[in-house]
């Protein structure tokens, strides 16, 4: 391939080009036009579907959050009414708190466990294909089965988990999914267990971009495993880590199906999260406009956190 030419070029499009004389400026704008056309030609096939079926409905959602739409009929403009209502809505505050509670634990725990799995299973190990498949199995197992089994494991009286804790001498084992205090930790445990295989896969792909020579060099320098991880793996993995963190943050704040089948938001409102609140308001109570406003607030939270991550990532890059 074109590898012979590699060493002849340095870096990308140079910002160090001196101010070009007039005739070349025209050719430069032609180059910009050409780039725009080429860029769009790459994006367009995907954008046709994305724009029509995702972007436009999402923009519609933003519009609807300022209306009192009830799914049927016309959407009446109500200005900021829905958003003002959010401020005084106790259930919304509960859902918001629970979503953040879930995210604060789910995101770091999943990040660490999936990275750990990926590092463990990224070697020439006998049976590695089997172990990788096992790690991924929770993600492909039917969510209904997952909810049924874990609820059973968590069962306060008959569940193996509490029997085990009892054997260890724990006096008052938690009520897990049947207790308002312990239902969220139970949900977090299950979702970390379920998601770690998924993110492990993304990390595995990212680990393949770490040049083997760097490890060799580090090894020759006498670097230990931890030091190799700190100084070689992590820096090379940064684009993947960034991607996984953004994805995980968004996925975590949007958590819906697992909670729905495991606790349905209960007991009480102890595991009610924003996504379920959006669904309930929209589909059960047909307050679609209000439900859209909740969705917009969820979007704003995700965006804020993501932008923080962007900035952080840029700073580390610099």
Partner 1 sequence: MKRTIPAVGLAAALALTLTACGGDTTDETPSTGDGGTTEEMGDEPVTLSLAGWSLSTTPEFQALADAFNEEHPNVTVELAEYSAGDDYDTQMIADLAGGTAPDIYVQKNLRNFYTYADGQQLLDVSDVAAGLDPATGGVDFYEMDGASYAVPYRQDAWLLFYNKDLFAEAGIDEPDGSWTWDDYVDTAKELSDELDAKGTYQHSWQSVVQGFALAQSEGAALDTGDYSWLAPYYERSLDLQESGAQESFGTVTTNSLSYQAQFGTQEAAMLPMGSWYVATLIAQQESGEADEFEWGMAPIPQADASTTGTDATPVTFGDPTGLGINPAIDEDKISAAKEFLSFAAGEGGADALAGIGITPALLSDTVVDTYFALDGVPTDDLSAFAFSTHDTRPENPVSETTAVVQNILGDAHSAIMSESDSIEDALAEASDRAANEAGIG
Partner 2 sequence: MATDVTPAVGYRRPPRKLSDPVKKVLGYGALIVAAALIMMPFVWMIISSLKTNNQVFTIPVQWIPDPVVWRNYLDIWTASDMSTWLQNTLILSVTVTFLQVLTGSFAAYGFSKVVFPGRDVLFLAYVGTMAVPWQAFMIPQFIIMSNIGLNNTLWAIIALQAFGAFAVFLMRQYFVSIPESLSEAARIDGMSEYGIWWRIIMPLSVPAIASLTLLTFVNTWNDYLGPLIYLRSPELRTIQLGLQTFIGQYDAEHALIMTGSVLSIIPVAVIFLLGQRFFVEGIATTGVKG
Question: Where in 181-200 is the site for partner 1 (CB under 8 A)?
Answer: 181
Chosen residue from 86, 119, 165, 201 binding partner 2 by CB under 8 A: 201
> 18 to 57, contacts with partner 1 by CB under 8 A?
56-57
Closest CB 99 distance from partner 2, rounded Å: 11
Determine, following the binding rule CB under 8 A, whether residue 74 of this chain makes contact with partner 1.
Answer: yes
Task: Give which of partner 1, partner 2, none residue 131 binds (C-beta under 5 to 8 Å, depending on kind).
Answer: partner 2
Distance between CA atoms of 259 and 105, rounded to whole angstroms?
15
Distance between CA atoms of 70 and 64, rounded to whole angstroms?
10
Distance between CA atoms of 230 and 224, rounded to whole angstroms?
10
- 93-96 CB contacts, 8 Å cutoff, 24+ apart: 94/269, 94/272, 95/269, 95/272, 95/273, 95/274, 95/276, 95/277, 95/294, 96/274, 96/297
Task: Give which of partner 2, partner 1, none residue 91 binds (C-beta under 5 to 8 Å, depending on kind).
Answer: partner 1
> 43 to 82, contacts with partner 2 by CB under 8 A?
43, 45-50, 52-58, 60-61, 64, 71
Determine, following the binding rule CB under 8 A, whether residue 267 of this chain makes contact with partner 1.
Answer: yes
Distance between CA atoms of 166 and 153, rounded to whole angstroms?
14
Determine, following the binding rule CB under 8 A, whether residue 279 of this chain makes contact with partner 2.
Answer: yes
Chosen residue from 19, 22, 23, 41 binding partner 2 by CB under 8 A: 41
> 105 to 164, contacts with partner 2 by CB under 8 A?
120, 122-124, 129-146, 148-150, 152-153, 158, 160
Interface map 283-312 toward partner 1 (x if CB under 8 A): xxxx--------------------------
Could you tell me if 173 and 185 are in contact, meaning their C-beta atoms sit under 8 angstroms apart?
Answer: no
Q: 3-state class of 94 per DSSP?
A: helix
DSSP codes joined into one string, 115-175: HHHHHHTSS--TTHHHHHHHHHHHHHS-HHHHHHHHHHHH-TTT-HHHHHHHHTT-SS---
> 224 to 263, contacts with partner 2 by CB under 8 A?
224, 239-240, 242-243, 246-247, 250, 253-254, 256-257
Could you tell me if 300 and 70 are in contact, meaning their C-beta atoms sit under 8 angstroms apart?
Answer: no
Q: Is 222 left (phi over 0), alpha (psi -120 to 50) or beta?
A: left
Size of the site for partner 1 (CB under 8 A): 50
Closest CB 77 distance from partner 2, rounded Å: 16
Residue 177: partners with Cβ closer than 8 Å, 6 or more residues away: 151, 154, 183, 186, 187, 262, 263, 267
Between 35 and 84, whose beta carbon lies closer to partner 2? 35
Could you tell me if 106 and 251 are in contact, meaning their C-beta atoms sit under 8 angstroms apart?
Answer: no
Determine, following the binding rule CB under 8 A, whether residue 265 of this chain makes contact with partner 1.
Answer: yes
> 117 to 156, contacts with partner 1 by CB under 8 A?
148, 151-152, 154-156
Question: Tell me, what DSSP letter sits at residue 67?
Answer: B
Between 138 and 266, whose beta carbon lies closer to partner 1? 266
Residue 81: partners with Cβ closer than 8 Å, 6 or more residues away: 68
Task: Give which of partner 2, partner 1, none residue 298 binds (C-beta under 5 to 8 Å, depending on kind).
Answer: partner 2
* Residues lying near partner 1 in the complex (CB under 8 A): 56-57, 59-60, 62-64, 67, 69-77, 88-91, 148, 151-152, 154-159, 175-181, 264-270, 272, 280, 283-286
């Amino acid at each position: 391939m074109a590898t012979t030419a590699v060493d002849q070029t340095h870096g990308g499009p140079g910002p160090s080009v001196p101010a070009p004389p007039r005739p070349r400026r025209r050719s430069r704008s032609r180059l910009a036009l050409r780039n725009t056309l080429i860029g769009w030609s790459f994006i367009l096939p995907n954008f046709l579907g994305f724009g029509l079926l995702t972007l436009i409905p999402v923009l519609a959602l933003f519009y609807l959050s300022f209306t009192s739409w009830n799914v049927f009929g016309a959407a009446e403009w109500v200005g900021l009414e829905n958003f003002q209502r959010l401020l005084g809505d106790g259930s919304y505050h509960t859902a918001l708190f629970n979503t953040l509670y879930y995210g604060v634990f789910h995101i770091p725990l999943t990040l660490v466990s999936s990275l750990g799995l990926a590092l463990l299973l990224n070697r020439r190990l006998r049976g590695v294909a089997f172990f990788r498949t096992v790690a991924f199995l929770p993600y492909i197992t039917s969510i209904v089965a997952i909810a049924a089994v874990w609820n059973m494991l968590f069962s306060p009286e008959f569940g193996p988990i509490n029997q085990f804790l009892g054997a260890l001498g724990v006096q008052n084992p938690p009520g897990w999914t049947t207790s308002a205090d312990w239902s969220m930790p139970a949900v977090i445990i299950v979702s970390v267990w379920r998601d770690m295989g998924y993110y492990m896969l993304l990390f595995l792909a990212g680990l393949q971009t770490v040049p083997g020579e760097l490890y060799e060099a580090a090894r020759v320098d006498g670097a230990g495993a931890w030091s190799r991880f700190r100084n070689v793996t992590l820096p090379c993995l940064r684009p993947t880590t960034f991607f996984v963190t953004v994805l995980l943050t968004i996925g975590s704040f949007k958590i819906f199906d697992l909670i729905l089948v495991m606790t349905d938001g209960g007991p009480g409102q102890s595991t009610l999260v924003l996504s379920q609140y959006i669904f309930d308001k929209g589909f059960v109570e047909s307050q679609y406009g209000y439900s859209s406003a909740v969705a917009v607030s969820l979007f704003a939270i995700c965006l804020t956190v993501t932008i923080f991550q962007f900035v952080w990532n840029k700073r580390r890059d610099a």
